[in-house]
């Protein structure tokens, strides 16, 4: 299989015959919050006042490809097909070299850098700050995209609570509020605080999972499923 990038449900190599030759994927800029106080040296840095760093989107991303078509007509037909599929649209983007995660971004054909005579197509985009785990904890787990370097097997579906159950969720850098689905009313504790869980779907904003091991302790009787998808820079 030709190494490439999956954009939506299209693969740049197998579907469009593009040769992936380069990528620029900038890190998101942190949202800095500083206050200059008259009469004092320096500034007061409140960037992490809330306990976390917020980020801007990833601006200036570029996906670069070469194209070997035998005629101008074939090149322009492919160019139009790609433009019709993604230009100005928000798409999920998965790199073959980082297949366990996806990016979300709005893409466009970079007209200044795309050129028939150079046999080059460049796709520009603005992506959300974090890349997301390919599967959520409630989706079927797949071997093929799993990374043995930093992949996490998540199995939080239909867990039986018989009096008490502690669930350890390894979190990633992005703070995430999971969705808890419960068959009955019960309670859950997290970081020393207890919350009511009603039968059905629950999004408890006091449970905001961050990096490291997050422990949710359920008390009651029934089954719970925890819908969590980690995000990383």
Q: Taking 70 as the threshold, does the pLDDT of residue 180 lie above it?
A: yes
Question: Would you call 134 exposed, middle or buried from its count of C-beta atoms within 10 A (0-12, 13-18, 19+)?
Answer: buried
- Tokens for 174? 């992005």
Q: What is the pLDDT of residues 185-212, one digit of tens each?
A: 999 999 999 999 999 999 999 999 999 9
Which whole number is the average pLDDT over 12-20? Answer: 93
Q: What is the pLDDT of residues 115-153, one digit of tens each?
A: 888 889 999 999 999 999 998 988 877 666 656 666 688
pLDDT confidence of residue 130: 97
Residue 226 inside a domain? The answer is yes
187/115 same-domain check: no
Number of domains, the chain: 2
50/91 same-domain check: yes
pTM for the model:
0.87
- Cα distances (angstroms) measured from residue 114 to each of 97, 122, 160: 24, 5, 55
Q: Which is it for strands 131-133 and 200-203: parallel, antiparallel or unpaired?
A: unpaired
Percent with pLDDT over 70 in the chain = 93
Q: Higher-confidence residue: 173 or 152?
A: 173
Residue 169 inside a domain? The answer is yes
109/166 same-domain check: no
Residue 138 inside a domain? The answer is no
Residue 65 inside a domain? The answer is yes
**CB-based contact 220:184 (threshold 8 Å):** yes
pLDDT confidence of residue 151: 66
165/122 same-domain check: no
85/20 same-domain check: yes
pLDDT confidence of residue 148: 60
**CB-based contact 10:91 (threshold 8 Å):** no
CATH of the domain at 103: 2.40.30.200
Residue 149 inside a domain? The answer is no
pLDDT confidence of residue 52: 78
CATH of the domain at 209: 2.60.120
Which whole number is the average pLDDT over 61-88? Answer: 89
pLDDT confidence of residue 72: 80
pLDDT confidence of residue 83: 95
Residue 142 inside a domain? The answer is no
Residue 148 inside a domain? The answer is no
Cα radius of gyration rounded to whole Å, the chain = 23
Q: What is the pLDDT of residues 99-120, one digit of tens each?
A: 999 999 999 999 999 888 888 9
pLDDT confidence of residue 183: 97
Which whole number is the average pLDDT over 58-63? Answer: 96
- Domain enclosing residue 174, as ranges: 159-232
Residue 51 inside a domain? The answer is yes
Question: Would you call 154 exposed, middle or buried from its count of C-beta atoms within 10 A (0-12, 13-18, 19+)?
Answer: buried
């Amino acid at each position: 299989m030709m190494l490439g990038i999956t954009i939506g449900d299209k693969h740049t190599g197998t579907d469009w015959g593009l040769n992936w030759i380069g990528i620029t994927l900038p890190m998101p800029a942190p949202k800095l919050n500083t206050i200059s106080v008259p009469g004092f040296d320096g500034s007061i840095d409140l960037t992490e006042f809330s306990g976390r760093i917020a980020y801007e989107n990833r601006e200036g991303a570029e996906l670069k490809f070469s194209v070997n078509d035998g005629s101008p007509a074939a090149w322009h037909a492919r160019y139009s097909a790609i433009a019709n599929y993604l230009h100005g649209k928000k798409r999920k983007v998965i790199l073959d070299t980082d297949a366990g995660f996806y990016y979300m971004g709005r893409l466009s054909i970079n007209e200044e850098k795309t050129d028939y005579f150079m046999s080059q197509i460049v796709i520009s985009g603005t992506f959300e700050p974090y890349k997301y785990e390919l599967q959520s904890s409630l989706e079927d787990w797949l071997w093929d995209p799993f990374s043995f370097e930093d992949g996490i097997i998540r199995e939080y579906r239909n867990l039986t609570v018989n009096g008490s159950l502690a669930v350890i969720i390894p979190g990633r850098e992005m703070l995430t509020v999971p969705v808890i689905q419960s068959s009955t009313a019960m309670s859950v504790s997290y970081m020393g605080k207890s919350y009511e869980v009603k039968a059905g779907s629950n999004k408890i904003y006091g449970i905001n999972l961050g990096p490291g091991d997050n422990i949710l302790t359920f008390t009651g009787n029934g089954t719970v499923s925890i819908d969590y998808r980690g995000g990383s820079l």
